[in-house]
Amino acid sequence: MTGRTWSEDFPVGETVRVADRDAPLRITESGSPGAYRLYDGRGATIELRHQHDQCIIIIDAFYVIIRGLTLKRAGAGEPAQARPIGALEVSGGHDIVIEDCDISDCDRRDPATGFGRDYEAGILFRPPRRR
């Protein structure tokens, strides 16, 4: 049996430089198979102080690279509210590459157990929206 994996060299088209911010980054624009859209956050932090549920929200975007961001303290509200949260949420996209990102403290702790809850993650994938 012979096998191989995809190349880790993705062709980059447009580059969007991401700066420090305290509000979620919404990504809705796609790249293409021959020109991925790169969101370059090397040296930048998205720090939400638990005021929003996601640091980055990707909605119906394809061929996107998220590179080098520090994502901190997503997840607003109390655990009992039971809505899914994640530092990075992908909703209906594909061919999304996440490289060299540092994700921390993006959950809500259950006061009864001291641990996180179901559907709270660093990266949260949702099925495509129906139109």
- Over residues 46-60, the pLDDT tens digits come to 999 988 889 999 999
Q: How far apart are CA 83 and CA 85, in angstroms?
A: 6
CA-based nearest residue to 15, from 46, 34, 37, 33: 37
Q: How far apart are CA 82 and CA 69, in angstroms?
A: 27
Among 4-13, 16-25, 36-45, 110-119, name the one with the lowest average pLDDT.
110-119
Checking if the pLDDT of 77 tops 80, the result is no
Q: How far apart are CA 17 and CA 15, in angstroms?
A: 6
| Domain boundaries, given as residue ranges, for the chain | 12-126
Tokens at 101, concatenated: 């990102």
Q: How far apart are CA 108 and CA 126, in angstroms?
A: 19
Instruction: Say what the pTM is.
Output: 0.85
